[in-house]
Amino acid sequence: MRRLLTILCASLLAGCQSVPMPPMETVTQVDMNRFMGDWYVIAHIPTFPERNAYNAIESYRLNPDGTVATTFTFREGGFDGEPRRMQPTGFVTDRSGNAIWGMQFIWPFKADYRIVYLRPDYGVTVIARQRRDYVWIMARSPYMAESDYGQLVERIAAWGYDVKKLRRVPQRQGERP
């Protein structure tokens, strides 16, 4: 009986282990000055605080010490919802290409933040995580052509994400949270 219980426990523990995903490839180079500014969140697999976000905008400003002052604003639950603001700090961890950051909301923890797609004109980007749990499609404009959106969703699926979890973020032109 004890041996059977040991085998059962070992099997359960083995089943709880996750298979590591291959490293997520990032863009080769990010010009930090061009990347700074406002990015409208077009769609995402949201974190808990942003699951009902409207008019979500992520803004970046390069600090003199090389960190990135980040301001994430949105309205909770609707266009007239309560304004929300988060201000994490980005720490570029891949100085060779500037594409891998640690995003710090609470000291000392830094969340994985990877720039995995960046259109050459710096008009559209996709931010992902190695764990493939959260992803953000962002653009310099609050709207995106459906064909462009569809192509990005295909890429996100190919990277190993469950795209059924993607949520389009409602945006209203000319409004800020």
Share of the chain above pLDDT 90, in %: 74
pLDDT surpassing 50 at residue 1: no
pTM for this model (two decimals):
0.86
The C-alpha atoms of residue 22 and residue 126 are separated, in whole angstroms, by: 18
Kindly report, residue by residue over 130-142, the tens digit of the pLDDT: 999 999 999 999 9
Closest listed residue to residue 56, CA positions, set 38, 39, 74, 71? 74
> Out of 2-6, 54-58, 110-114, 140-144, which region has the weakest mean confidence (pLDDT)?
2-6
Tell whether omega for the bond before 108 is within 30 degrees of 0, i.e. cis: yes
pLDDT the model gives residue 95:
78
First to last CA, the chain: 62
pLDDT surpassing 80 at residue 12: no
The answer to whether the CB of 112 falls within 8 A of the CB of 9 is: no
The C-alpha atoms of residue 162 and residue 19 are separated, in whole angstroms, by: 16
pLDDT the model gives residue 2:
40
The C-alpha atoms of residue 48 and residue 6 are separated, in whole angstroms, by: 37
Kindly report, residue by residue over 77-117, the tens digit of the pLDDT: 999 999 999 999 999 998 789 999 988 887 777 778 999 99
pLDDT the model gives residue 105:
81
What is the average per-residue pLDDT within 24-52? 95
Domain ranges of the chain: 25-168
State which amino acid sits at residue 89: T
pLDDT surpassing 80 at residue 174: no
- Decide: helix, strand or coil at residue 78: coil
What is the average per-residue pLDDT within 18-41? 89
Q: What's the topology of domain 25-168? A: Lipocalin (2.40.128)
pLDDT the model gives residue 40:
97
> Out of 13-17, 39-43, 80-84, 96-100, which region has the weakest mean confidence (pLDDT)?
13-17
pLDDT surpassing 70 at residue 16: no
The C-alpha atoms of residue 6 and residue 128 are separated, in whole angstroms, by: 39
